[in-house]
Amino acid sequence: MSQRPPALAALAAAALALAVAGCGADTGPRATTATTPAAAPAQTTGPGQDETPVVKTPATLQGPLAFHVQRRTQLRRTPGGKVVATIPTKTEFKSPTILDVAGRRAGWIRVRTSVSHHAVGWIPASSGAIFTQPHSIVIDLSRRTLTLFHRGKPTNTYKVAIGTAATPTPIGRFAITDRLRVPPGTDYGCCILALTAHQPKIAQGWGGGDRVAIHATTGVWAIGKRVSHGCVRATNKTLHELMRRVRLGTPVTIHA
């Protein structure tokens, strides 16, 4: 990827992607890319594998859980407590709002969101439906690998590029908020999996946002290296495979 790729914030303005801390800071060869027409929109996709979430009764739910927000609701610091944000039924990129579940109490669901400074909060269980996630992702920063799990068992491991020492990929548990297909000619390859994660260490002079994503790259030389502003990069082949398999709300754990 080039040293100055278009920020995802700019891509979003052109209906291409989202504002992330993304994904620049390359120190290797400059990739040659075509100019992307502003009119060519990114395509958002649904939960993954063309699957409609199968909603079950809470007593039968096992494994990673997700919550489909079906009515606009308020995110609260504690059950019934202070309101910290409003959660719409669609993301800013028109995907269904499907959140990773972090906990449950009677009548309330604790969820992970992309709300800055309020990544985890509580919403009423009556505002949507809970369901199980078949997949999860674990990113190992020391090995620079991304492993896809299906029902708790690893199925595929891929080499990835990660953030630099100055702008490291954040550690923690996050989730996929949007699945975007990007038109040819950008530095983001075929596809973007937007995460709830934010980059707390914005590089001086960086003009993009602070959201973090897993995305493809035209600079395959970078795979296995520390080169980004915090995003995780993989090959187009890897992203095509992930786009076919993972749903919105899929949990993503990033560890050192």
- Residues designated catalytic: 215, 231
Q: Are strands 232-234 and 211-216 parallel, antiparallel or unpaired?
A: parallel
How far does the chain reach from its first CA to its final CA, in angstroms?
A: 24
Q: Is 105 helix (H, G, I), strand (E, B) or coil?
A: strand
Amino acid identity, position 207: G
Q: Pick from 104, 110, 87, 93: which is nearest to 173 by CA?
A: 110
Question: Could you tell me if 24 and 256 are in contact, meaning their C-beta atoms sit under 8 angstroms apart?
Answer: no
**Scanning the structure block, which residue is given the tokens 């505002």?**
127
The whole-angstrom separation of Cα 253 and Cα 230 is 14
The whole-angstrom separation of Cα 184 and Cα 225 is 24
C-alpha distances out from residue 235 to 1, 39, 219, Å: 12, 25, 9
